[in-house]
Structure 1
Amino acid sequence: MAMFTDESLTQITEAEGLAFAREVLRVEAHALERVRDRLGVSIARAADLVYRCPGSVIVTGMGKAGLVGQKLAATLASTGTRAFPLHPAEAVHGDLGRIRAGDIVIALSQSGETYELLRLVPALRRLGAHLVAITEGVGSSLGQAADLCIALGPLQEACPLGLAPSASTTALMAVGDALALLISKMRDFRAEDFALYHPGGSLGRKLCHVEEVMRTGAQIRRARPDETVRAVFVRLAGPRRRSGAILVEGADQKLLGIFTDSDLARLFEKRREAELDRPIGEVMTANPVKIEVGATIADAVEALKARKISELPVVNRGGRLVGLIDLTDVIDLVPAEPEE
């Protein structure tokens, strides 16, 4: 991590550095406010065009705007729109073959005069693609060439020299987000749709359904209510994926109760060893907390946390046991308890 040292502070103090950093944020925040006030119906029209697009959305830009374009393409793709980034220099060397008639090209350029983008326009016309520009003004070369132009208006960069893209790229990214999320809203994009495109990571796991990650088959310790506790533990001994619960089910496979390692420990703590030879149905916890198939992992985590339990049986709508969510399977998704 970069740190201010005595040598680096010969020209600027920590207080001055903090003040400068805050000023950069102030300038960029002000730029967003101005763009918000200037935003016109063109963004709604562009969203409608993308929503109705039968093909793909191609996002392009040069330099820093191109990097923002990559983020916009990723956001569109993750919220239900088939979208890809395209580098304009690569486009004129063969990658224009990725574009088909009816596709939409979103071109990002603050000035609207980026040469590499303007040289794409004739080819896009021949290919039959639509062009949406996000740029400073409709009067720019790119703005005039586009079918739709989302105009940001002139912006003051946060860079003291007025050269390094800063406020302008912040505005481009924010407007790109507004466009992508508007399209997502038009698609009625929901949490379950989001999960489909985000199966990895903690966010994706939370949105998965319990049946996608629950333990099944030999991974579950099952027992009949008339078996003794001792007999159950002897029968289930041996190598298997460990679970701290025995799930008790009837002849119809409906869940009747649960007997956990904690229940076993309590028998010994209270000197009730004789109950080891009694039917497990008499010492189990009847009608335990459970969750139905179709629920999300987030729902399961909330149930585990709220009831302070470690095992959560999964049943179908008829109450038949189909799986088990163990705390160890989702421990990374359980928020830590606040320290006292």
Structure 2
Amino acid sequence: MSHADLPPGFDFQQAGKTVLKIEREALDQLDQYINEDFTRACEKIFWCAGKVVVMGMGKSGHIGRKMAATFASTGTPSFFVHPGEASHGDLGMVSAQDIVLAISNSGESNEILALIPVLKRLQVPLICMTARPDSAMARAADIHLCIKVPQEACPLGLAPTSSTTATLVMGDALAVALLEARGFTAEDFALSHPGGALGRKLLLRVNDIMHTGQEIPHVSRDATLRDALLEITRKNLGMTVICDDLMKIEGIFTDGDLRRVFDMGLDLNNMKIVDVMTPGGIRIRPGTLAVDALNLMQSRHITCVLVADGDQLLGVVHMHDLLRAGVV
């Protein structure tokens, strides 16, 4: 293919919008294939004692890899096997407890068709996703899911575009329907994403990041306001807790309270902290999710919260702790 000059007045935006229009129409057509076959496929996967093994060649293989990843992260154990590699030993990864989900737009992928007799011999259930209900793969399948589209977005009708979009969406429909049927929760999702931001938000608890022991800024009720300010400066959390020798909470004093004291013109050296503290203080339990602590701070417009068991002070969590932990 030789380099050609750009046609005068060629409209890239219009070309892009045409693609979107064609693919939207393709997805509208896909709605009719969410039918009894779809229900049977979901039920078969739901009751599967093993894993969903996704297969596909070329562009279908790329879509299949994403499909397997979506299944696996939403409560349906799954992995992808390349059909070509399966013919050379990787089929040993498939057990009789598994289900094979094979993808091919034409339904005539030779690499997949070559595997079907072995899958039948192993009595592995076969779900095929094709655009042709009369194809060899569709006829061999225990369940066939149709992904036929009116046309490809490629003007030549050759590059898989609308068809791969429809396949991807059908896979998402399966995964999400199964997610809902299993009662899969956000915390379940986080368990398979422990290294990501979502995992940190959903799994991290305040007792993992709170300040404890000598890191907690605290003074007794007999301390002066000046003593409290020195403690706030030493611990650098913008506040101090007022508590007894057994760490029973009486109140809290923050840098915001200090501004109020300045406005009142009080004597910093002789004023007792108990006279200007805020009694009680906002508290959370140590097992509280860090993201819930964040939501509480944002809703109450505060930067620090006490971690306590009743009146017993256990720790302090600052907004900066949440930032460092990647929760914000």
TM bucket, shorter chain: 0.7 to 0.9
Which of 312, 315, 331 in structure 1 is aligned with 2:308?
315
State the TM-score, normalized to the length of structure 2.
Answer: 0.86
Residue 300 (1) aligns with residue 296 (2): no
Structure-2 change in CA distance of 1:251 and 1:55 (3 Å)? farther
Note if contact 2:149-2:166 (Cα within 8 Å) is conserved in structure 1: no
Deviates more, 1:96-105 or 1:17-26: 96-105
Deviation at 1:24, TM superposition (A): 0.3
Three-state SS of the structure 1 residue aligned to 2:75 is coil
Three-state SS of the structure 2 residue aligned to 1:324 is strand
Structure-2 change in CA distance of 1:91 and 1:246 (3 Å)? farther
Match of 1:326? 318
Structure-2 change in CA distance of 1:45 and 1:216 (3 Å)? farther
Residue 25 (1) aligns with residue 17 (2): no
Three-state SS of the structure 2 residue aligned to 1:10 is coil
Query: What are the residue-to-residue correspondences of 1:138-153 with 2, within 5 Å?
Result: 138-153=133-148
Counterpart of 1:321 in structure 2: which amino acid? L
Which of 171, 193, 198 in structure 1 is aligned with 2:193?
198
Three-state SS of the structure 2 residue aligned to 1:138 is coil
Structure-2 change in CA distance of 1:182 and 1:229 (3 Å)? same
Match of 2:151? 156
Deviation at 1:187, TM superposition (A): 0.5
Counterpart of 2:313 in structure 1: which amino acid? L
Note if contact 1:209-1:294 (Cα within 8 Å) is conserved in structure 2: no
Deviation at 1:327, TM superposition (A): 1.1
Residue 289 (1) aligns with residue 282 (2): yes
Deviates more, 1:228-237 or 1:27-36: 228-237
Deviation at 1:289, TM superposition (A): 2.5
Deviation at 1:9, TM superposition (A): 7.6
Two-structure CA RMSD over aligned residues (Å): 2.8
Distance 2:4 2:298 in 1: 49
Three-state SS of the structure 1 residue aligned to 2:174 is helix
Three-state SS of the structure 1 residue aligned to 2:209 is coil
Deviation at 1:224, TM superposition (A): 3.8
Match of 1:244? 238
Deviates more, 1:153-162 or 1:283-292: 283-292
State the TM-score, normalized to the length of structure 1.
Answer: 0.84
Deviation at 1:171, TM superposition (A): 0.3
Three-state SS of the structure 1 residue aligned to 2:314 is strand
Note if contact 1:35-1:152 (Cα within 8 Å) is conserved in structure 2: yes
Deviation at 1:108, TM superposition (A): 1.3
Three-state SS of the structure 2 residue aligned to 1:74 is helix
Q: Alignment length, in residue pairs?
A: 323
What does the per-residue CA deviation read over 1:257-299, in whole Å, with 9 as the maximum and x for residues that have no partner? 2222443465456553x44555544332222223334443332
Structure-2 change in CA distance of 1:236 and 1:54 (3 Å)? same
Counterpart of 2:254 in structure 1: which amino acid? T
What does the per-residue CA deviation read over 1:139-167, in whole Å, with 9 as the maximum and x for residues that have no partner? 21111122111112344100011010000
Q: Which portions of structure 1, spanning 4 or more consecutive aligned residues, are displaced by more than 6 angstroms?
A: 235-238
Match of 2:252? 258
Deviation at 1:138, TM superposition (A): 2.9
Which of 101, 109, 112 in structure 2 is aligned with 1:117?
112
